[in-house]
Structure 1
Amino acid sequence: MPDRIDAWTHIFPKAYFAKLQTVANAAGPLKRWLELKPLYDLDHRFRLMDSFAGYRQLLTPSMPAIEDLTDGQAAVDLMRLMNDGLAELVSRHPDRFQAFAAALSLHDIEAALAEIARAETIGAVGFQLCTHMRGVPLDDPRFQPVFAEIARRHLAIWLHPIRGPLPDYPNETKSRYEIWWCFGWPYDSSVAMARLVFSGLFDRHPDLKIITHHMGAMIPYFEGRIIQGWGLEMGSRTPPADAGLLPGPLQRRPEDYFKMFFADTALSGAVGAMRCGLDYFGADKVVFASDFPFDAEGGSYLVRETIKALDALQLPGAVRHKIDAGNISALIRRG
């Protein structure tokens, strides 16, 4: 087993990146992607990886979400192109890439279900889902077959936030100061987690493995509010006329479900947040991840600072091994 498996690193396979440059909706972010060479240049990526001993990566698709780029057959074709590229990368470079989580487009549920089956045959260990599909929440009933099929196959889900510059106040048209990214993405993840919990997802699929980006976002820090507001006082703030907005019966306490998620260490090196998340989820539910290569150094900063933050916690060797490689290795094994 490698010393460290980075469980959430983004990449553009070569053919997919070439196609992406012809898609009109991709024109906005294209400049940054072209400047971030490790996203598509393997030689550059490998040089950065070599600065960390015993380091391998699990590949996930890079943003933007396919659903935001196009729809119909074009979205299906992009999904397949991405997944074929990820499978090829893992096959060609097993010493670099441990595995891959495939892309799914949720526009066409039947096509998504077919791709789940196809992607598994080419080596996918799970799927990256965004926290909503063009504003449609993941607890929408139309998506239930997707979760059911992933659970049936004992595959995992990488839950990625996706939020554009939505306004922070009703009288504005766009978020200022990139607040939508710094605070908006953790909020987006937390909302998606809550919606999945209260939709009864874990009652239907108690063994479903969902990895949440950025250490479960806001959830660990707001444990007390979850227990008080959703465990002891659920409904006390909702008038009878809005009773339909409350959840139906669940088999467990709300706070128990949130601890069923997995979390990653992609916290940009924040030691206190790392400690908080590890205390909340426990040593068996946290996996090493950096969000490579989305930093000004093309990934080196995030990997280095994540390692430094874990070092600062002075964890027992057995716990550190679980986080660095053991937990993700066990999670992507079938069964």
Structure 2
Amino acid sequence: MSGASGARARISVPEHGYPRTTVVDVHAHAILGAVEALVAADPRLAEHKALDLLRNGAESSVVSERMVAERIPLLTRLDARLAAMDAAGVDVQIVSASPSQYHYWADPELARTLFGRAHRSLAELVGQAPDRLRALGLVPLQHPDLLVEALDDALAHGHAGVEISSHAPGVELSDERLEPFWARAAETGALVFLHPFGCTLDERLDRFYLANSVGQPVENAVALSHLIFAGVLDRHPGLRVLAAHGGGYLPTFLGRSDHAWEVRPEARGCAEPPSCYLRRLWFDSLVHTPDALRALVAAAGADRVLLGSDFPFDMGVTDPLDGLAAAGLTADEQHAIASGNAAALGLRPVVLEESS
């Protein structure tokens, strides 16, 4: 690969007899300055930030603000991003906007402007390093009637799919109004990247950074359960949903959900026991311990896990390949997670696919 950054680090995936591996990190973020400029003076943004403060607590909010400020170069400058990728042995990032830029408080007119601006900004970023980057667009989950339009706009800009949170005000992922969106995503093969932002447990988690360390895995589990129990994956078998943070608490604790499916009639909205649907979802590898990654692979299968770092935030990792190697998986499993599964989902940059 030519790369836009000059010298490249040697790929650190263990030797396994495969051709040279293209390592893909599917969980990496950017802050889009053009999007922030559109909302900076909007009083509704201040109201939303007040809710974030309630949910996260004052201490964590101060620490997070400092952390993000320190990482602004990585979030906004291509040269800093590519250098960090090289240092980590990552060839390709699938870049999504920072979840703080969902702006699910926006009215329909502003929401349409925001996703259009986001898609152009992401296309400009990818265009500067087309062999190193692909992107995921944004959709206004709070306005179900705009979702298909936003998805189509993302795809028209060359993006691999879109990023969504676990819910929006008044909208769960089981909401019937989302059916046209799921259908269009399945029809086009677009990736839907599920990345929660905020936790509705509110001030119960406002200390010790529980809003993130506990809240994010909870939100993943709740959102995926809405998809499963509502039969969304039955109605749209071609749907490609990738869950951040290894799917949170869901993948390794579905025995209770299976039991509910067996004994409770209101839990029978899906055709099969909930654990069966792990084979219809994908998960990133960001689970933080070797034991947890082995458990995720055992539950979902190595062909359903993709490398993820949560670049460049402090709850992510700077060395996703080292974490993968530490799990003691087979060479085939490591290759699938680092590279093969992303290729199978069509996530590598188009210029790489054309040159393969």
For the aligned pair, the TM-score class normalised by the smaller chain equals 0.7 to 0.9
Which range moved further: 11-20 or 275-284?
A: 11-20
**1:165 Cα offset (Å):** 6.9
Q: Deviations over 1:10-61 (max 9, x none)?
A: 1123423444544445564794443322111223222222212353211111
Query: RMSD of the TM alignment (CA)?
Result: 2.5
**Residues 220, 254 of structure 1: CA spacing in aligned structure 2 closer, same or farther, 3 A cutoff?**
closer
In the other structure, the counterpart of 1:119 is 154
> Any stretches of 5+ residues in structure 1 without a counterpart?
236-245
The answer as to whether partners of 2:99 and 2:196 remain within 8 angstroms in 1 is: no
In structure 2, C-alpha distance between the alignment counterparts of 1:22 and 1:10, rounded to whole Å:
23
Greater fraction helix: 2
Q: Deviations over 1:232-289 (max 9, x none)?
A: 3335xxxxxxxxxx1455322222123321110112x311111110111101100001
In structure 2, C-alpha distance between the alignment counterparts of 1:147 and 1:123, rounded to whole Å:
19
The answer as to whether partners of 2:35 and 2:101 remain within 8 angstroms in 1 is: no
**1:73 Cα offset (Å):** 1.1
In structure 2, C-alpha distance between the alignment counterparts of 1:46 and 1:154, rounded to whole Å:
28
Which range moved further: 48-57 or 16-25?
A: 16-25
Q: Secondary structure at the match of 1:303?
A: coil
Which range moved further: 139-148 or 309-318?
A: 309-318
Alignment partner of 2:329 out of 307, 315, 327 = 315
Number of residue pairs the alignment of both structures matches: 312
In structure 2, C-alpha distance between the alignment counterparts of 1:121 and 1:72, rounded to whole Å:
20
**Residues 2, 77 of structure 1: CA spacing in aligned structure 2 closer, same or farther, 3 A cutoff?**
farther
Alignment partner of 2:264 out of 230, 234, 238 = 234
The answer as to whether partners of 2:29 and 2:98 remain within 8 angstroms in 1 is: yes
In structure 1, C-alpha distance between the alignment counterparts of 2:141 and 2:215, rounded to whole Å:
22
**1:70 Cα offset (Å):** 2.2
The answer as to whether partners of 1:2 and 1:56 remain within 8 angstroms in 2 is: no
The TM-score normalised by the length of structure 2 is 0.80
In the other structure, the counterpart of 2:53 is none
In structure 1, C-alpha distance between the alignment counterparts of 2:36 and 2:69, rounded to whole Å:
10
In the other structure, the counterpart of 1:200 is 231
In the other structure, the counterpart of 2:250 is 219
**Residues 307, 76 of structure 1: CA spacing in aligned structure 2 closer, same or farther, 3 A cutoff?**
same
1:328 aligns with 2:347: no
In structure 2, C-alpha distance between the alignment counterparts of 1:109 and 1:20, rounded to whole Å:
21
Alignment partner of 1:129 out of 164, 169, 172 = 164
Percent identity of paired positions between Structure 1 and Structure 2: 28
In structure 2, C-alpha distance between the alignment counterparts of 1:20 and 1:42, rounded to whole Å:
23
1:69-88, aligned counterparts within 5 Å?
A: 69-88=105-124
In the other structure, the counterpart of 2:138 is 103
In the other structure, the counterpart of 1:238 is none
Runs of 4+ residues deviating >6 angstroms: none
The answer as to whether partners of 2:255 and 2:275 remain within 8 angstroms in 1 is: no
The answer as to whether partners of 1:283 and 1:319 remain within 8 angstroms in 2 is: yes
Q: Which amino acid aligns with 2:131?
A: D
In structure 1, C-alpha distance between the alignment counterparts of 2:233 and 2:209, rounded to whole Å:
33
The answer as to whether partners of 2:291 and 2:327 remain within 8 angstroms in 1 is: no
The answer as to whether partners of 1:60 and 1:100 remain within 8 angstroms in 2 is: yes
> Any stretches of 5+ residues in structure 2 without a counterpart?
1-19, 50-60, 351-356
Alignment partner of 1:260 out of 271, 277, 280 = 280
Q: Which amino acid aligns with 1:184?
A: G
Which range moved further: 280-289 or 247-256?
A: 247-256
**1:65 Cα offset (Å):** 4.6
The TM-score normalised by the length of structure 1 is 0.84
In structure 2, C-alpha distance between the alignment counterparts of 1:143 and 1:65, rounded to whole Å:
21
Q: Which amino acid aligns with 1:303?
A: T
